Structures are given as structure tokens and as C-alpha cells.
Amino acid sequence: MGKNLSIVTISFLLLLAFTSAGQVFDVKSYGGKPNADITQALTKAWKAACAVAGSKVVISAGTYKLGVVTLLGPCKGAIEFNLQGTLQAPSNVASFNGKDFWVSFQRIDSLTVSGGGVFDGKGQMAWQNNNCAKKYSCKTLPINIRFDFVTNSIVRNIKSKDSKFFHINVMGCKNLQIQHVTITAPGDSPNTDGIHIGRSSKITITNANIGTGDDCISIGDGTQDVTANQVTCGPGHGISIGSLGRYQNEQPVSGIRVIGSTLSNTQNGVRIKTWPSSPPGSAFDMHFENIIMNNVANPILIDQGYCPNSQCSNKSPSKVKISNVSFKNIRGTSSTKEAMKLICSNSVPCQQVVVADIDLVYKGAGGSTTSTCVNVKPTVSGKQNPPACTRKQY
């Protein structure tokens, strides 16, 4: 394993070196100018760069307006998208002609996105038109950055701001590293998930700073082998696996690790959520470890009756089987008295749940923190504040 890893690492470093030494395609060479629309210039620069092995598309310092763009592969070889300036999306959703994204990277192998620049989604007008809190089947708004079927790639040192919907959406990707990204939107901006991952594998998120109006990180069905390390989250709804079980034929979720992260003033901490009355499904091998909670509501949560605003049928329990889950070394302060809720399904009770070394203090009136267990019998060890399963229901 160590030998294979070293070969992969060396290959990756050689790839980056080759990319950085490759041919440069500056949007200014294709008519792109600051304070103007560069949609055509970027499209032409990308097409030219994609036809060359080892190339770099550069958007230098400055502010640029950009319409909807699809940056499509496969390319001849490794390619870098180097954004040093700020890209501004159209404010009006009508400008997107029904598209559910603003910037899309599709079917590319060996992509690097870097440069320290900003994707400014200009979402303020769109948030007012978001009706997802009221409608079960709402129309989705444009995502800032989509990565679809991108492999062996790295996204680092970029910023996403005020997306109309999700900030970064990862779908059908494999071996993608996301490093040192900053994601910001107001705490009351609806559905502005920081990073959403679906049907992807071998994804790592490292040193991300995320503050939004929804989940900082959300993990959808069919996702395997995700590690989120050193993530700073807040404001937002926390770090979530799910929601799962809303649709037919969802694929299993497995191999999820959230390590060494800090959540502050979020509506939830680390959670797994599934819809009631769901089709059968599974989520297993999910671990949360070495996490600090600062004034977080619901710091530790399994919710198999997830039903936002009563938009769903809860006539029958969730059929998503949850197993092999651990919550270890989670400490800090809870803004709610009930600091740990493990609410599992009575159809498929949770199995192999481990709770170890928990120290969550409630700052409000009414005593110390409590916990609830429903349809789960966790294995408990180490410090237990609150004591696991203060209230039980099996």
C-alpha cells in the first residue's frame, strides 16, 4: 500500500509540474477584458487549451462578468484552470435559461483548479425566489461550480461566494482532492450547501473554511470513501450524510470520515439523516472523530425521521439501514440541552454504533446536557457527557 501510494504521489507531482510548465492560454488573448463579459473569451481559451497536452487557462487579477459556461473534456492531457481574479455571475436567474449551474467542469481527467480567485454567484436576488422550504418538488437554482465525471484532479485555493444554490457540487467524480477552499454565504441564504458530493468515490476535503445557509458539507447517495479533515464550519446546518431515502434506487453510502474539524454556531453538528417512508437503502462505515463544537445545536445527530416542514409522508419508518457508525472525541458546547440524539428506524434499527469520549457542555439554564436513543443500543466508552441514552426507546 505504501509503495502504491508513493507511486501515485510521485505521478501526481510530476503531473502538476508538467501542467505548470505547459502552454498558457490567457483569456485576454481571446478578447477577455476586466469589467466586461468574458463568456466567449473563456470558452475559446478553454477549447484551445483542451486540445493541447499540459496546458493552463489563466484569468488574471481583475473583475469579470461571466455567463453560463461548460468547460468540457476529455482534453489531450493535464489541464489547469487558474483563476486569479473575480468572476461574477448574472444576478437574474432568467439569464441561465433553465440551466442548474453557472460554471461546469465535465468529463475531465487530470484537472487542476487553482489561483486564489473568487466565483461570485451573486445569489441575493435568487434567494428571495427559493421556495424549497414550502414545496417538496421545488425548482433548483443554479449551482456555482459543478464537477461532473472529473477524475484524478485537484481543486485548491479558490473561493466561492453567494451561490444561488449549492456552491460546489461533485457528481460522478473519482480521486478528487479539494484543498484550502473558502465558501461564504449569509447564514439565512437557503440551500447554499458548501460542498455536496453524490455518486463519487475517493474524495478528500482538507483545510476548508465554510460558512453558508445550509450544510457545510453534504453527502448524497452512492458516495464512497470520503475524508473531510480540518474543516471549519459555521454558520450553517453542520456536516451531514444525507438526506438519504428520498428517491427510488439510491446507491449505498460508505467509507465516510470527518476528522479534526471545528463547528461554530451551526444548527446541527455532525449528522446522518434519512427520510421516513423511504425505499430500502444502506449507509455504513461512517466515522466522526476529534471534533470541536462551539455553541452548536444538536451536536451529534442520527435522524431517521427527517421531514423538513412536514413535506413528506411519515406513515411508515425509514428503510435505510445504518450501521458501523462511530462518534469519538467530540467536545465543546451545545446550544441545546439535548446534545446527542440517535433516532433510528424501528423498521431497520441502527447497528454497531460506537460512542466514545464525548464532552458536550450546555451553557443554558436547566442543568447539564442529555441524550436520547431510539432503536439503537450504542457501545459506550470513555468520558460520557452527556451520559449516552439518558432517554431510551427500543
- Give the DSSP H or E segment for 26: strand 23-26
Instruction: Place 363 in a pLDDT band, splitting at 50, 70 and 90.
Output: confident
Active site residues: 214, 237
List pLDDT tens digits, range 206-246: 999 999 999 999 999 999 999 999 999 999 999 999 999 99
The rounded distance, in Å, linking the Cα atoms of 145 and 390 is 43
Looking up cell 437503502 gives 281
Mean pLDDT of 258-269: 98
pLDDT at 2 over 70: no
Say whether the peptide bond before residue 308 is cis (omega within 30 degrees of 0): no
pLDDT at 394 over 90: no
Q: Is 220 left (phi over 0), alpha (psi -120 to 50) or beta?
A: beta
**In this predicted structure, what is the pLDDT of residue 121?**
98
Closest CA to 178 of 234, 216, 123: 216
**In this predicted structure, what is the pLDDT of residue 170?**
98
List pLDDT tens digits, range 64-103: 999 999 999 999 999 999 999 999 999 999 999 999 999 9
The rounded distance, in Å, linking the Cα atoms of 153 and 81 is 11
Q: Give the torsion sign (CA, 215, 68, 82, 48).
A: positive
The rounded distance, in Å, linking the Cα atoms of 119 and 162 is 9
Better-scored residue on pLDDT, 386 or 10: 386
In 10 A of CB 390, how many CB atoms? Answer: 16
Asked if 276 contacts 240 with a C-beta cutoff of 8 angstroms, the reply is no
* Domains of the chain, each with CATH number or no CATH: 2-129+139-393 (2.160.20.10)
Mean pLDDT of the chain: 93
Alpha helix segments (H runs only) across the chain: 2-20, 39-50, 124-127
List pLDDT tens digits, range 24-47: 999 999 999 999 999 999 999 999
